[in-house]
Structure 1
Amino acid sequence: MLMAAEIMMSQGIINNIQRMSVQDGPGLRTTVFFKGCPLKCRWCSNPESQSFQPQLLYYDELCVGCGACAAFCPEGAVSEQDGKFIVDRDKCIDCGKCVEACPSKAREMVGKTLSVEDVMDIVCKDSLFYENSNGGVTLGGGECTSGGDFFFDLANAINEEGFHLTIDTCGFCAPARFDKVIKVADLFLFDMKHMDPEEHKRLTGQDNKIVLRNLRTALESGVEVTIRVPLMPNLNDSDENIGAMAEFLKEFGKDEIEVMPCHAFGRNKYAALGWEYLISEEYAPEQLEVVLGRFAHHGLRALIV
């Protein structure tokens, strides 16, 4: 077993830390977003959280064409095109030299190596707010449970402080590991994306066998579980899929879920990564009402978050 000092020096790659969060569990919270996810959801609104390594984002609209990035790039991965300095992703090694050189903040590195101590220094700043609002800390992502030993070291440090700990998860985690995750969690925010294994694989890159196994285990554990469904037009909002979700949850007496209708807030991040944005459709208000009606028809009360 690691000594306390060694645990505090344990490191992982963190995408972002958001203080005063109100959407990631009860009360006021600090949400720690891990970098890296085993799923590649077509609708992901934080694509920069998928890779387990730091990444370069390039915001074309902020580029002033000074060329400092090209001058400092050790790999020759930046070249001028129509007055802008474009990244060759095949050559780029995400070293961050161009970010340091850029005067207009057109380039950004996402993903920073932090220790448990670094994270806890931030988390503990708002302890009074947690206490007064019945809040706490949320570990999310990416997929926080994919965070190696660092995940457990950080979770244990949060537990030792007595802070309420929420785990925001897609559920794709080795079962033996997930059984250990349950022991550190006060609440799960658990995604349900699709009940059909082939459709789940088509939409996320993995089938749902492990996800449903872990969800079942969480629901049987006695730990509080909030079900969250990312709603995508014509992808996972059919009456058949919603009915299958309701049938699964009925076994555990769950009749309330949270739904997250798709949005285009992450579109600019895809462009900044040089990726194609695959979701072109959002819900009109009347369309969303129809979908919410499907949940109600199957005995599920759906709350929009």
Structure 2
Amino acid sequence: MRIDLHTHSTASDGTDSPAELIRAAAAAGLDVVAITDHDTTGGWDEALAARPDGLTVVPGVEFSCVHHDADGRRVSLHLLAYLADPDNEALQAEWTRLRAGRVTRGKLMVENLVADGYPISWEQVSALAADGSVGRPHIGRALVDSGVVPDVSAAFGDLLSSRRPYYVRKPDTDVFEAIALVRGAGGLPVFAHPLARRRGPVVSDETIAAMAAAGLVGLEVQHPDHDDADRAHAAELTRDLGLLGTGSSDYHGTNKPTPIGVCLTDPDVYEQLVALPTARTPVGP
């Protein structure tokens, strides 16, 4: 079985519609794909309606989180929340708050760029996001369309980087609160790209152990932003902490160079994951 448990559609910051995402998964020979847009379940219905025979779809969300170390260091991190109840009021209220914060942050970043003469507008960014959860990739695409940068990766490497004055921090949820919300909604929280240092600071092994004690069920071990040493260390953590080690592409369509179906989840791990009690079940064969 070929299993990819982390992908994005136009419901957040991918470039494939949910239906196109499902078609891309089938064309890539996947047996199982999870749709995990940022802080929204908005792509679920379209993705499930587009599911062809033979493909299983796992509804999920990538939850924007934060952790403050004992020394006050702020670390952004993401949880993949699989198979939660989409009607859970507490969880949906928090995701609504996060999406609203993304809009405010996006507007401020655009204002910062425009003030320095970059030829983009909030209307342009908003149109690119359509009804989806707004993210920096939408600003990056506006910069590409306006001829400022050659591609979204270049935008992230420079103008949209946290090192630049145009950057605005988005609101996030304390990771331990997020774990409790996901578990309270019958979902399965898995720590996305836990050792992706190229994205910024990462939390300590001790914090991951505390997350496991709080209800975390897995770590994303196989990920395009993990090198071989990261993968080995993440796998060791799963063994030491009794967690499941997943794998995925973190596919974003043309917003990132990584194709769908890279860094797959082992079928045995997937079977253990979906055997856990959840509010929903995967949809498929």
TM (norm. structure 1) is 0.34
Could you say which structure has the larger radius of gyration?
A: 1
Q: Which of the pair is proportionally richer in strand?
A: 1
TM (norm. structure 2) is 0.36
